[in-house]
Amino acid sequence: MEEDQPRREVSQSSNKTTILAVGVIVAIALLGFAIFAVTGSTKQKDDNQASAANQVAVNPNATYKDGKYSAVGSYTSPGGQEKITIDITVKDGVVTDTSATSGAIDPQGEQYQSQFISGYKSEVIGKKLSTLSLTRVSGSSLTPKGFNDALEQIRTQAQT
Amino acid sequence: MNTISWSYDFEAIGTNWHLSCDSPADVLRSTIVRDIQQTIESYDQTFSRFRADSWVRKIATATGEYKLPDHAPALLQLYTMLYSLTDGKVTPLIGQALVDAGYDEKYSLQAGEIRPVPLFNENVITIKKRSITLHQPLLLDFGAAGKGQLVDLVASRLRAFQVKNYLIDASGDMLVSANHKPIKIGLENPFDTSEAVGIYDLAGGALCGSAINRRRWGKHHHIIDPLTRKPVAHIAATWVHAGSAMVADALATALFFTDPEHLRESFTFSYVVISSSGEVNASQDLAASLFS
């Protein structure tokens, strides 16, 4: 069920934290659980006045019926405009479930979105290895020095 | 019989190995170690596409008939089964695609265009009991099951020395002897390698894990779908507990492509699969506790 609010077009540089922020902000905008301070006075501002991309004014007195809500945020990846949909389930006024699905067409955009999604909702619960009494650990094979050196070179090149 | 308990950590085939066991007191540890190292070196020299002197590199240079080295028939038979069960996704003909993607012998990690992957059928390669015939140039890659088979071979060498209670860990792919006391294996969180997502109680057999968090570069990682020529996106990690390390290793890769219950029609094993979105899917009979 689509909430009757204007969609926020947010332009962001693409990185996992920012995409997550977009999703969270869109979600919060729908539910009014928080108020972001708007710079300057609370008087009505000119449309021309730039409002920071991640600032939203919401009605703190609004309550939301139980149900599922959906919102779409868009952001700019190196491949262009991308969209991401956040679905939220509300029960007793509390968010009980969230999920994100990507609507990216640009393959590079999908890469970023997969990274976002994998960090956004997880049923996997991790515990620090240092707190566990284990004989061995099983995961992907450790990579040899040659591979790690090659990765390091790529990272260095990507930064320059 | 008097035994000595010992462990040995070493590097081989591009990763870290750990071995612990009880061996007869009248056999020199150095004899056992040397035998294992020769076993590994011989296997590596046969099946590794990362070394210029290997059998797989030699046969990649020209079409024709080639005698099969030891262990190749069993390996190829497993690949043939899995190729069919995964609708062509697990294949030994993935070698060139991995090289094109950048996962080559020099670890250039520079991805170029990935050429179409040949079908694993009679027109491309004829497999007989003792030989294979390549009808076109092919770079074979046994990454999905080779390490597992090698772990099984090392175990058989240990048994030849009357070694008991062995644990072989080839960096996450492990095998314990049937009489070994139960051990706790942490299942590494693919999203955070300082954590485990659960603990596996291994009381015998092989536990092999596969994940996409380490061998990755740019937009690629090392588990490529031969049909789309893209890295698999929806699975982050898999584990399989089976009777042999070769089967556990191969199935851990197959689970990136196929539903586990489908594979359970043909193989006996337990599994844990973690999707890229962090959802866990595990078999009912699992000898593990996953954190929740």
DSSP state of A94: E
Residue A56: its pLDDT value, please? Answer: 33
pLDDT by residue, tens only, chain B of 292 residues: 799 999 999 999 989 999 999 999 999 999 999 999 999 999 999 999 999 999 999 999 999 999 999 999 999 999 999 999 999 999 999 999 999 999 999 999 999 999 999 999 999 999 999 999 999 999 999 999 999 999 999 999 999 999 999 999 999 999 999 989 999 999 999 999 999 999 999 999 999 999 999 999 999 999 999 999 999 999 999 999 999 999 999 999 999 999 999 999 999 999 999 999 999 999 988 999 999 8
A151 Cβ under 8 Å from any chain B Cβ? yes
Residue A60: its pLDDT value, please? Answer: 44
User: Could you read off the pLDDT of A24-58 as tens digits, one per residue?
Assistant: 555 555 544 333 322 233 333 333 333 333 333 33
Contacts of B113 in chain A (CB under 8 A): none
Q: Determine what percent of chain A is predicted with pLDDT higher than 70.
A: 26
The yes/no answer to whether this complex scores an ipTM above 0.90 is: yes
Instruction: Tally C-beta pairs within 8 A across A and B.
Output: 150
Q: Do A117 and B200 touch (CB under 8 A)?
A: no
Residue A156: its pLDDT value, please? Answer: 81
Residue A37: its pLDDT value, please? Answer: 29
For A128, the closest of B167, B194, B217 (CB atoms) is B194
Residue B77: its pLDDT value, please? Answer: 97
Tell me the residues of chain A between 106 and 125 that have a Cβ less than 8 Å away from chain B.
Answer: 107-108, 110-111, 114, 117-125
pLDDT at A20 > cutoff 90? no
Q: Do A118 and B196 touch (CB under 8 A)?
A: no
Residue B2: its pLDDT value, please? Answer: 93
Strand-pair category, A136-138 with A127-128: unpaired
Comparing C-alpha atoms, which of B184, B182, B185 is closest to residue B203?
A: B182
Instruction: Say what the pTM is.
Output: 0.74
Name the closest residue on chain B to residue A115, using Cα atoms: B276
Contacts of A144 in chain B (CB under 8 A): 11, 14-15
Assign A149 a pLDDT band (cuts: 50, 70, 90): very high
Residue found by looking up tokens 């990272």 in the block: A155
For A135, the closest of B184, B195, B218 (CB atoms) is B184
Instruction: Count other Cβ atoms within 10 Å, centred on residue A123.
Output: 14
Residue B206 Cα, gap to closest chain A Cα (Å)? 11
User: Could you read off the pLDDT of B149-204 as tens digits, one per residue?
Assistant: 999 999 999 999 999 999 999 999 999 999 899 999 999 999 999 999 999 999 99
pLDDT at A116 > cutoff 60? no
Do residues A116 and A19 lie in contact, with contact meaning Cβ atoms separated by under 8 Å?
A: yes
DSSP chain B: --EEEEEEEEEETTEEEEEEEEEETTS-HHHHHHHHHHHHHHHHHHH-TTSTTSHHHHHTTS-EEEEPPTTHHHHHHHHHHHHHHTTT-S-GGGHHHHHHHT-STT------PPPPPPPSSTTTEEE-SSEEEESS------TTTHHHHHHHHHHHHHHHTT-EEEEEEETTEEEE-TTSPPEEEEEEETTEEEEEEEEEEE-SEEEEEEESSSSEETTEES-EETTTTEE--SEEEEEEEESSHHHHHHHHHHTTTS-HHHHTTT---EEEEEETTS-EEE-TT-SEEE--
For A114, the closest of B147, B233, B280 (CB atoms) is B233
Mean pLDDT over A119-133 rounds to 78
A146 Cβ under 8 Å from any chain B Cβ? yes
Contacts of B14 in chain A (CB under 8 A): 141, 143-144, 146-147
Assign A72 a pLDDT band (cuts: 50, 70, 90): low
Instruction: Count other Cβ atoms within 10 Å, centred on residue B285.
Output: 9
Task: List the single range of A104-113, A133-142, B138-147, B161-170 with lowest mean pLDDT.
Answer: A104-113
Residue A40: its pLDDT value, please? Answer: 30
Contacts of B15 in chain A (CB under 8 A): 141-144
Q: Do B190 and A140 touch (CB under 8 A)?
A: yes
pLDDT at A98 > cutoff 80? no
Residue B201: its pLDDT value, please? Answer: 96
Contacts of B208 in chain A (CB under 8 A): 138
Residue B62: its pLDDT value, please? Answer: 96
Contacts of B18 in chain A (CB under 8 A): 136
Residue B284: its pLDDT value, please? Answer: 86
pLDDT at A132 > cutoff 80? yes
- For B243-274, letters b (16+ CB in 10 Å) and e give bbbbbbbbbbbbbbbbebeebeeebebbbbbb
Name the closest residue on chain B to residue A145, using Cα atoms: B14
Residue B256 Cα, gap to closest chain A Cα (Å)? 13
pLDDT at A17 > cutoff 90? no
In angstroms, what CA-CA distances link A39 with A26, A54, B125? Answer: 19, 12, 70
Q: Which two tokens stand for residue A133?
A: 């009494």
Contacts of B237 in chain A (CB under 8 A): 139-140
Contacts of A134 in chain B (CB under 8 A): 184-186, 196, 199
